[in-house]
Amino acid sequence: MSKTIAGFSKLSKSKKIEWIANTYFENAENAKTVLKQYWNDNEKLQQLHDEFIENTISNYYLPLGVAPNFLINNKLYAIPMAIEESSVVAAASKAAKFWLDRGGFKTTVISSTKIGQVHFMFKGDSKNLDLFFKAIKSKLISDAKPITKNMEARGGGILDIELRDKTTDIEDYYQLHVSFETLDAMGANFINSCLEHFAKTFKHEALQFKSFSEEEKHIEIVMSILSNYVPNCLVRAEVSCNVEDLTENKTISGKAFAEKFVRAVNIAEIEPYRAVTHNKGIMNGIDAVVLATGNDFRAVEAGVHAYAAKNGKYSSLSHAKIENGIFTFWMEIPLALGTVGGLTGLHPLVKLALELLHKPSAKELMQIVAVAGLAQNFAALRSLTTTGIQQGHMKMHLMNILNQFEATDAEKVILVEHFANNPVSHSAVVDAINNLRKE
């Protein structure tokens, strides 16, 4: 029976597991065995993993795959992808090979500005607040120098601070809206430290500002926090080729395929139900690389989906057109990534993944990640508009079903051969396993 516990975080890992296993599992010994079998035999490495988060009881593994043959701005990459979904790595690899022979992917970082905000309440005349902000702006920046000097030495730092009046939305609500350049760091800690320093200076100086009434001097700071919405931290990725070179499928012409592909993208641009699944496919590629390189995929997801709805309606992130006989498929997407800080210098596999990618800068990683998303989207749309999504997906899913039913190696060989020329479905695989075992 479940029960509460005091001081759980102070228990040793083995004591935590003991309590978890005995409290929540019918077979406590089996639960302990499963948790412990994922521990790393290297004690130093296991300790490193234990200290990434609180209350660790085991490691949770995802497969790390590689999609080779990505030609990005005339440079070849093998892209690491950490993901559990079957067919994602295969689809990305197939798209990479397709575009390798057609000039590869072209990418550009449009901008790399990140945003943080100090949210505060001010009761008084907005004109007085504006005067105060203009008087204090330079001091906000100078007072933060101990935090920003190292970033500035590398070419980054605070780009601007704006005062934003939000009182039409919430009474007495204003913001300090701050833009940053954080270079190769994702910059969350740097930005949040700056914002909290701004808030402290802002509140302190308000008490000294002579033009304020007594009520106006008492500004209430609500919170100081970076934003994961980064519409000005933007990268573009695209592919293009002559329409007649667009297909390897002899049953459909390049022109017919291009037209059908563009229509599929157009549907995702106007239909939110389709756009969500369409964009989820893009994120299959993006999240896998973001995770493999030790970045925050939750922040990326939040920012990307907000960007997809920036015009007031959720829409496709990617776009396609046919113009003067040229097919072009592209995407502009916000990605706030880092190649220093966080797990990038701690997790051994993250360090390996970044070295595999030629030790990219943050801007280079933005381009690689965007390409992985575009490639994934291209592969999905190519399947959807020709053979259908299930043919390739279910063949990749076959091994998962066989493992679910504990197929032996010999059974796998026979069944993989059988389904090479037969439709794969869960029920068909179950029937085939049962028939094979009866024989």
Q: What is the pTM (predicted TM-score) of this model?
A: 0.88
Looking at the fold, whether 94 and 69 belong to one and the same domain comes out as yes
Active site residue ranges: 85, 280, 296, 393
For residue 167, give the nearest of 124, 231, 229 by alpha carbon: 124
Residues 95 and 139 in one domain: no
Judge residue 379's burial from the number of C-beta atoms within 10 Å of its C-beta, 0-12 exposed, 13-18 middle, 19 or more buried. buried
Q: Is the domain of 311 the same as that of 368?
A: yes
Q: How far is CA 123 from the centre of its chain?
A: 39
Residues 129 and 82 in one domain: no
Report the C-alpha gap between 384 and 180 in whole angstroms: 41
* Shared domain check, 247 and 371: yes
- Decide if 1 is inside a domain: no
Q: Which of 165, 200, 226 is the last residue of a domain?
A: 226
Q: Is residue 3 part of a domain?
A: no
CATH number of the domain residue 357 falls in: 3.90.770.10
pLDDT (tens digit per residue) in 307-329:
999 999 999 999 999 999 999 99
Tokens of 372: 């992985």
Q: Is residue 204 part of a domain?
A: yes
d(CA 415, CA 422): 10
Q: Is residue 293 part of a domain?
A: yes
pLDDT band at 341 (very low <50, low <70, confident <90, very high): confident
Give start and end residues of each alpha helix (H) in 232-384.
254-270, 272-292, 297-308, 348-356, 362-384
Give the percent of the chain with pLDDT over 90. Answer: 82
Could you give the number of structural domains in the chain? 4
Whether 210 and 83 share a structural domain: no
381 & 251 share domain: yes
In tens, the pLDDT along 81-123 reads 999 988 899 999 999 999 999 999 999 999 999 999 999 999 9
Residues shown for the chain: 439
371 and 408 part of one domain: no
Lowest average pLDDT, out of 105-119, 126-140, 338-352, 365-379, goes to 338-352
Domain contains 182: yes
* 378 & 399 share domain: no
Answer left, alpha or beta for residue 362, where phi above 0 means left and psi between -120 and 50 means alpha: alpha
Residues 134 and 206 in one domain: yes
Measured CA to CA, the distance from residue 63 to residue 85 in angstroms comes to 9
Range of 82's domain? 64-109+237-387
Domain boundary among 192, 226, 260: 226
pLDDT at 387 over 80: no
CATH code of residue 176: 3.30.70.420
Task: Check whether residue 330 and residue 199 sit in a common domain.
Answer: no
Q: What is the DSSP letter of 68?
A: E
